[in-house]
Structure 1
Amino acid sequence: MANISRRDMLKMSVVGAGALALSSVNANAAENEKAVKFDEEWDVVIIGSGFAGLSAGITAAKRGNKVLILEKMGRIGGNSVINGGIFAVPNNDLQKKEGIEDSNERFIADCMKAGLNINHVDLLTQIANRANDVYKLTLECGAQYRDRLEIAGGHSVPRTFSTANGSGSGIVHPMVDYFKKMDGVELRTRTKFDEFILSDSGRVVGLKVREGYKFDSKLLSDDDENTTGEVKYIKAKKGIVLAAGGFCRDVFFRQQQDPRLGPDTDSTNHPGATAGVLLKAFQIGATPVQVSWIQFGPWACPDEKGFGVGSMYNVNASFRYGISVNPKTGKRYMNELADRKTRADAMFRVIGTDKNYPINICDSEAVKNLLPNHLEKPLEAGILKKFDTLDDLAKNYNIPVKEFKETVAKYNEYVKNEKDVEFGKPLDKTVVNDITISKPPFYAERGVPKLHHTMGGLLIDTKARVISTMTKKPIEGLFAAGEITGGVHGASRLGSVAIADCLTFGMIAGENI
């Protein structure tokens, strides 16, 4: 503590010595509003233009607020615009139409099981209670969904909508268009948040940003080496919403949480999924929650980078209507509809040190449930392959033919009996529609888990207010929603609950700010 400057001492008086001791008194953690001149003023400022940011922005603007959304990248939407577009909504109207019984309690129990029971139940309850509200908001904005429900891994019943275009862009783009038509709003790209501006009482009253920022994907994290952009100070009269997403692509920070996650570990995320905003919030005293829990998505393909074009084949065809086999044995090794952590762990055991990638398989009936682009694009890329016979498929991947065909026959019997006696995969008619692996051509793709979602982040309450480590109370003027927060998903998130999480707490932030 011997080298604290007068400026650091001033900051300690503003935000509290305890909070700054926690962050080693980072000289760039925050500035006092008396020391800056604001260039512009808004009611609400939101950092991030994905599901959470757009939901917060639209909701706040509906209440007559002047709203500014800031996006550091040149493209709008972050991970939201490239995700698979699957959205869990418990107790939805389509479930009732199809005779599917669901409840808030069932939804929460499914999430808790996947999250190893370390989820924050109060936050999960908010999602269960409000998911239908935000679903209706997306419809109001113009989002379109398929007239059928999916069952994502770990869910006990089908409760998941999928966008008509099979991408999160089917929600993001209509919401962006809706937002831009509202009065008193602006969405600004290439604008990077650098520091919070605090009042004497510690309230967050504004931001220091850089306009004209150019993200550098060569850096391993948000780094001071990148000095692009012009500094501006923006005042937020009613508050700031942090909706900056997770940090799967922040190699430095993620590797400190788990030393195995070095630069060679692939991720489904967009390049800008870094920890900068999260760390700045920690530096002003926000409470960290479960930051070291980082999820692998089990449906990716090793033959392409990132999320790619092959993931949705596994999400909506092979895992639901087919099987995953160990190519060395020709046998199944997991419940293909288990939660993500369970499946990823099982796949890693098969892959081992010799990169023995499992093979994900289904038949021609199964792929009829895919959107055309989810079948055509991976076939064109050569990562998804089509075979006239199971023998041809086995030969291509060096799978023992006899054992493989026995596995397929056994699985088909399980489907007919609606019971998987080996791994407990749900096989009732509402899930697999009596689809077996029997009608050629057959399809196969190699599988591998990739870094997908960071479970941990900022502690928020049920009103989306960020909670201080030191006072145990909300940090005045600071809200957060989506993947930058922690606690909702516990150890592992169920597929399709991210959109519900982001949209719900974005809406709640917009209501309470």
Structure 2
Amino acid sequence: MTSHSSSADVDGRWDEEYDIICVGSGIGGLSGAITAASKGLKTLVVEKTSQFGGVTALSGGQIWSPANKYQLARGIEDSVEDGIRYIEALADGWANDRMTRNLFNTANEAVDFLEEKGVKFRMIPNLPDYYYPDLRPFAKQDGRYFDAEPFDLRRLGDGYRHKLRHKAWSSPEMAGITGRPEAQRQDCVYTGEALAGYFLQAALEAGATCRTNSPVTRLIRGEAEAGTSPRVTGVVVKGLDGGGREQRIRATRGVLLAVGGYDHNSALVHRYEGRFEPYGTLVFPGIDGDHLAMGADAGAAIATLPPSRSIVQRAVRTGIRRDEDVSSPTWDNEILAMYWPVGPHEIVVNRAGKRFADETFYPELHASLHVLDPVRHVHPHWPTWLIMDDNYWSSPMRRQQPGPPKEQCHVADTLDELATKAGINPLGLKSTVDRYNDMCRQGRDDDFHRGERPWVTSSLAFAPLGTSPLGPIEQAPFYATKLIQAFLGVGAAGLEINQHAQVVRQDGRPIPGLYAAGNSAARTDLGMMLQSGVTNLRGMVYGFLAAKHMADDGCRSRL
């Protein structure tokens, strides 16, 4: 097991020295690296795995920010204050107002700076906020989303182009550039890969040193002074750049932890997420909660949110296993595929055979899983099953989202037989399907308004023309597969930070020389809110703020 204990800098021996060390190469670590290196600081990025980009590369690549420059350039009225009020309405009292305002009041400054350094953004048109029109006037119909332009991998050169993490579902359709010349180029990547690509290129061009296969095993700290925590002065890296021995690397200004969540650490998942079985993760091995272990050893406060508002998706099994031999909670290394039940001829039901949410809107679906029956003390909506008929397999949506392999499903000629095989109440399933089919014929889901939310309809712009989220379940044979709760690198727990992205102790005082960004930082700025694009925004802004603060001469570690 890897040790994450911190050690005092007793003998002062160092193998290398930098001003700033960024641990992790997602948008948080790379934003910090771009900012620091651009300010003339000697900067090192160390990535635990063999590829750069982190969870950012696996994301949809969206950034959500109110009153952003791309929105205002199109004449769309908005204000940062309206965006903050929208967040506060969703936070349910769990957000720190100062942190919320700090995040969104800094966003435009960070965007301007990063754009100057070569990151190319563009607005995503016609995509409303999650909760539009419910939370008008603070929710907006258009303009708050932007992402990166398609990225040409040749920009990275031969030494780095093959080190950028890829995902299977990036496509011109998803990126909204079908018909443009770059859509035909094999060297182009889109969405999260493009975002990570631009940030990696900008970090390299700014002069940052970026290394893969370089896991940090512990923080190094100096001696404590009266009334303060010991300063973090460096890190120990095991097998730097794939080598065999540990190296002590000094950071004269500070260390930025931006290593994602803790998806592959089953103990932390159980502790902070209230583990539902079956569960797994959609991210690569290496997201182990290293920041929590190292931060705790340095005296950091760990802040948590209720797991019902964690960013969790539904997933299906693929039957494909990873090449890596890793210890993880993901089905004995079986790769999972994110599944969005938005097509026709499919519904999601609980063990009683009942629908319980709008399947097309994941925040509603996930929160419903955490409903507790206070009398029987059970979660009535977990486990949950995807129910399909034979028409499902020929739906045009299958070309965009393959779904579960047939061999992973229960199959039966009748719904009664299917329910018995899957462990679902037969009478409940039959009545649910009958009612759902009636609503499909009427063209409206009166129970949960499936597919009616503006964000859902806009997000389905990539779907084949004429595809409806409603479609009856009537053609035998019928299929059922148990859905999996799948984490995405964003947990309920993280290191608590202040407005400079400094990691703080339980008493609120900062730990000198230690910073956190992205999914490693607790979501005290957002509270219970879920809104796509904010995760990437947080990484970008807090990496930027951390590096700015470290660039101050007053943050130099004592010699």
- Per the alignment, residue 404 of structure 1 pairs with 436
- Per the alignment, residue 203 of structure 1 pairs with 231
After superposition, where does 1:430-469 map in structure 2 within 5 Å? 432=457, 439=466, 449-452=485-488, 453-469=490-506
- Are residues 367 and 495 of structure 1, via their aligned partners in 2, closer, same or farther at CA, if it must alter by over 3 Å? farther
- Are residues 328 and 239 of structure 1, via their aligned partners in 2, closer, same or farther at CA, if it must alter by over 3 Å? closer
Q: Bigger CA drift: 76-85 or 252-261?
A: 252-261
- Are residues 169 and 426 of structure 1, via their aligned partners in 2, closer, same or farther at CA, if it must alter by over 3 Å? same
Instruction: Give the structure-2-normalised TM-score.
Output: 0.66
Question: What amino acid sits opposite 2:285 in the alignment?
Answer: P
Distance 2:264 2:100 in 1: 26
- Per the alignment, residue 344 of structure 1 pairs with 366
2:284 to 266, 270, 277: 270
- Per the alignment, residue 5 of structure 1 pairs with none
- Report if the CA contact (8 A) 1:54-1:506 is conserved: yes
- Per the alignment, residue 249 of structure 2 pairs with 234
- Per the alignment, residue 74 of structure 1 pairs with 50
Q: Deviations over 1:85-114 (max 9, x none)?
A: 222121235545677554333433443444
Q: CA deviation at 1:358?
A: 5.9
Q: Aligned with 1:191: secondary structure?
A: coil
- Are residues 492 and 266 of structure 1, via their aligned partners in 2, closer, same or farther at CA, if it must alter by over 3 Å? farther
- Per the alignment, residue 17 of structure 1 pairs with none
- Report if the CA contact (8 A) 2:240-2:246 is conserved: no
Q: Bigger CA drift: 163-172 or 65-74?
A: 163-172
Q: Aligned with 1:343: secondary structure?
A: helix
Q: CA deviation at 1:274?
A: 0.9
Q: Bigger CA drift: 203-212 or 323-332?
A: 323-332
Distance 2:399 2:30 in 1: 31
1:150 to 112, 122, 127: 127
Question: What amino acid sits opposite 2:256 in the alignment?
Answer: V
1:357 to 386, 389, 411: 386
2:41 to 61, 65, 71: 65
Question: What amino acid sits opposite 1:206 in the alignment?
Answer: G
Q: Aligned with 1:302: secondary structure?
A: strand
After superposition, where does 1:45-194 map in structure 2 within 5 Å? 45-96=21-72, 101-137=77-113, 139=115, 140-143=117-120, 145=122, 147-151=124-128, 153-154=130-131, 156-157=139-140, 158=142, 159-163=144-148, 164=175, 165-183=189-207, 185-194=208-217
Q: Deviations over 1:441-486 (max 9, x none)?
A: 878897654223213211111111111235x321111111111111
Distance 1:211 1:378 in 2: 39
- Report if the CA contact (8 A) 2:345-2:470 is conserved: no
- Per the alignment, residue 300 of structure 1 pairs with 314
Question: What amino acid sits opposite 1:161 in the alignment?
Answer: F
- Are residues 406 and 327 of structure 1, via their aligned partners in 2, closer, same or farther at CA, if it must alter by over 3 Å? farther
Q: CA deviation at 1:237?
A: 1.0
- Are residues 119 and 147 of structure 1, via their aligned partners in 2, closer, same or farther at CA, if it must alter by over 3 Å? closer
Distance 1:332 1:96 in 2: 41
Q: Aligned with 2:33: secondary structure?
A: helix
Q: CA deviation at 1:129?
A: 1.6
- Are residues 175 and 94 of structure 1, via their aligned partners in 2, closer, same or farther at CA, if it must alter by over 3 Å? closer
Over the matched positions of the two proteins, sequence identity in percent amounts to 19
Q: CA deviation at 1:160?
A: 2.3
Q: CA deviation at 1:239?
A: 1.2
CA RMSD, 1 decimal = 4.5
Q: CA deviation at 1:33?
A: 1.9
- Are residues 332 and 251 of structure 1, via their aligned partners in 2, closer, same or farther at CA, if it must alter by over 3 Å? closer
Q: CA deviation at 1:209?
A: 1.6
- Are residues 58 and 352 of structure 1, via their aligned partners in 2, closer, same or farther at CA, if it must alter by over 3 Å? same
- Are residues 234 and 322 of structure 1, via their aligned partners in 2, closer, same or farther at CA, if it must alter by over 3 Å? farther
Q: CA deviation at 1:76?
A: 1.1
Q: Deviations over 1:18-53 (max 9, x none)?
A: xxxxxxxxx963222232401111111111110100
Unaligned runs of 5+ in 1: 1-26, 215-227, 369-374, 384-393, 415-420
Q: Deviations over 1:379-416 (max 9, x none)?
A: 49868xxxxxxxxxx99x99866522332355x458xx
- Are residues 28 and 160 of structure 1, via their aligned partners in 2, closer, same or farther at CA, if it must alter by over 3 Å? closer
Unaligned runs of 5+ in 2: 133-138, 149-174, 176-188, 320-329, 372-378, 407-414, 420-428, 472-479, 551-559
Q: Deviations over 1:237-293 (max 9, x none)?
A: 11111111111221122223355357x521122211111232111111111111674
- Report if the CA contact (8 A) 1:51-1:172 is conserved: yes
- Report if the CA contact (8 A) 2:440-2:470 is conserved: no
- Report if the CA contact (8 A) 1:36-1:233 is conserved: no
- Report if the CA contact (8 A) 1:68-1:187 is conserved: yes
Distance 1:495 1:441 in 2: 23
- Report if the CA contact (8 A) 1:50-1:79 is conserved: yes
Distance 1:492 1:430 in 2: 16
Q: Bigger CA drift: 110-119 or 427-436?
A: 427-436
Q: CA deviation at 1:58?
A: 0.2
Distance 1:289 1:323 in 2: 38
Q: CA deviation at 1:352?
A: 4.3
Question: What amino acid sits opposite 2:288 in the alignment?
Answer: T
Question: What amino acid sits opposite 1:203 in the alignment?
Answer: R
- Per the alignment, residue 244 of structure 1 pairs with 259
1:284 to 298, 312, 328: 298
- Report if the CA contact (8 A) 2:451-2:469 is conserved: no
Q: How many residues align?
A: 446
Distance 1:351 1:358 in 2: 17
After superposition, where does 1:490-501 map in structure 2 within 5 Å? 490-491=527-528, 493-501=530-538
Question: What amino acid sits opposite 2:280 in the alignment?
Answer: D
Distance 1:232 1:73 in 2: 17
- Are residues 278 and 61 of structure 1, via their aligned partners in 2, closer, same or farther at CA, if it must alter by over 3 Å? same
- Report if the CA contact (8 A) 1:327-1:358 is conserved: no
- Are residues 439 and 238 of structure 1, via their aligned partners in 2, closer, same or farther at CA, if it must alter by over 3 Å? closer
- Are residues 354 and 269 of structure 1, via their aligned partners in 2, closer, same or farther at CA, if it must alter by over 3 Å? closer
Q: CA deviation at 1:206?
A: 1.3
Distance 2:16 2:94 in 1: 42
- Per the alignment, residue 179 of structure 2 pairs with none
Q: Deviations over 1:424-446 (max 9, x none)?
A: 88958787479999935878897
Distance 1:28 1:63 in 2: 30
- Are residues 405 and 327 of structure 1, via their aligned partners in 2, closer, same or farther at CA, if it must alter by over 3 Å? farther
Question: What amino acid sits opposite 2:237 in the alignment?
Answer: V
- Report if the CA contact (8 A) 1:292-1:456 is conserved: no
Instruction: Give the structure-1-normalised TM-score.
Output: 0.72
Q: CA deviation at 1:502?
A: 0.7
